[in-house]
Amino acid sequence: MSTFPLLEVDGLERRFDVSAPWLNRVIERRPKQILKAVDGVSFSIPRGETLALVGESGCGKSTIAKLVVGLYPPSGGTITFRGDERRVQMIFQDPFASLNPRWRVGRIVAEPIRTLEPGRPDAEVEARVAELLATVGLNAGDGTKYPHEFSGGQRQRISIARALAGEPEFLVCDEPTSALDVSVQAQILNLMKRLQRQFELTYLFISHDLSVVRHMADTIAVMYLGRIVEIAPTAELFAHPRHPYTRLLLETIPDLEAPKRDRTPMAGEVPSPIDPPEGCAFHPRCPLAFDRCKTERPELAGEPDRHRTACFAALPVASAASCVAPARAQSRST
């Protein structure tokens, strides 16, 4: 597959005004409140590959998905797509909510075809719908049924068929398996991998579960409070996680070989994006935090296009020693 970037995101920002109504602010003398959902995010996705965004709920990953497909306009930064923007599709988290319950499946899958090719004969559209349903593991006769007649996994297959109907080259997958039973998740993930090879698709895959993206992604970007704190090839991230937040996320993955292993619980809650902490946003929960972390925000640093981390304690070995030592000394004193 080509390594030419199909999508490049540079300094992406998205802010939401969550202030009280103007009259309430005047009477109560309260300032405007701005929520920074995405705060300076940059990444690129080579053609034919998968980039996964992972993190806890509220970190901004789903907002990025909606920015990329144009559902939200960015407040800052740029999104550069080197392809036909009409060939960008999205697979949503809840397959039942994303399908029109009053339409038959055949009409749902045919909608992108009729929109992009309004003059295409009905017979060709029906044949294409039957082909797409077969591609995702359903029967052509399923086109006469309604979404409520299918299981969750089958409804997600319908969503995938609808996305493929637009002949996409880029798919944004917003937690496409999180609403499904564990037994069905693997089937959908395997289907998506097969379709990626078959149609040379490029994926932006959104998830909160590292164990899911481990088998889907070529590259993983870990997000925390609107920013990417670590980005690396999948194998590299799992073998050598550098950011304390990434390590804590990895601790949450069940291990069948050591089910009773000691785990480090993740302390505290995610701070409010309306009033984030000064310096590194993760420092109130970080076991390695020291004074610099509380006043200065780290930027992504490391090998270009390889492994980058936004953490003062994850600098190269020679520099990291001076950061980790104060942290250990501080923990001993407390």
Q: What is the pLDDT of residues 8-31, one digit of tens each?
A: 999 999 999 999 999 898 998 888
Q: Which residues of 229-247 are buried (b: 16+ CB within 10 A; e: fewer)?
A: bbbbebeebeeebbbbbbe
- For the cut 70, the answer to whether the pLDDT of residue 334 exceeds it is no
Which tokens belong to 144?
């006469």
| CATH classification number, 87-168, choose in 3.40.50.620, 3.40.50.200, 3.40.50.300, 3.40.50.10210 | 3.40.50.300
**How many C-beta atoms lie closer than 10 Å to residue 122's C-beta?**
9
All residues at 6 or more sequence positions from 182 whose CB lies less than 8 Å from its CB, including other chains: none
Q: Does domain 1-83+175-184+194-257 have CATH number 3.40.50.300?
A: yes
pLDDT: is 327 or 125 the higher one? 125
Q: Are 179 and 172 in contact (CB under 8 A)?
A: no
Task: Indicate if the pLDDT at residue 321 is higher than 80.
Answer: no
Band of residue 331 on the pLDDT scale cut at 50, 70, 90: very low
pTM of the model: 0.87
Percent of the chain with pLDDT over 90: 68
Judge whether residue 226 has pLDDT over 90: yes
Q: How far is CA 89 from CA 4, 68, 145, 167, in A?
A: 20, 10, 23, 9
Question: Residue ranges of the domains in the chain?
Answer: 1-83+175-184+194-257, 87-168, 278-334
Task: Give yes or no for residue 187 having a pLDDT over 80.
Answer: yes
Which pLDDT band holds residue 332 (cuts at 50, 70, 90)? Answer: very low
Counted residue by residue, the chain has a size of 334
- Write the pLDDT tens digit of every residue in 36-70: 999 999 999 999 999 999 998 889 999 999 999 99
More confident residue, 183 or 173: 173
Say if 1-83+175-184+194-257 and 87-168 have the same CATH topology: yes
**CA separation for the pair 309, 135 (Å, rounded):** 40
What is the three-class DSSP state of 69? coil
Is the pLDDT score of 199 beyond 60? Answer: yes
Query: How many whole angstroms separate alpha carbon 54 and alpha carbon 52?
Result: 6
pLDDT at 265 over 90: no
213 φ/ψ angles, rounded to the nearest 5 degrees? -75, -15
Phi, psi of 128, deg, nearest 5:
-65, -40
pLDDT at 328 (0 to 100): 39
Contacts of 81 by beta carbon, 8 Å cutoff, 6+ apart: 6, 7, 88, 170
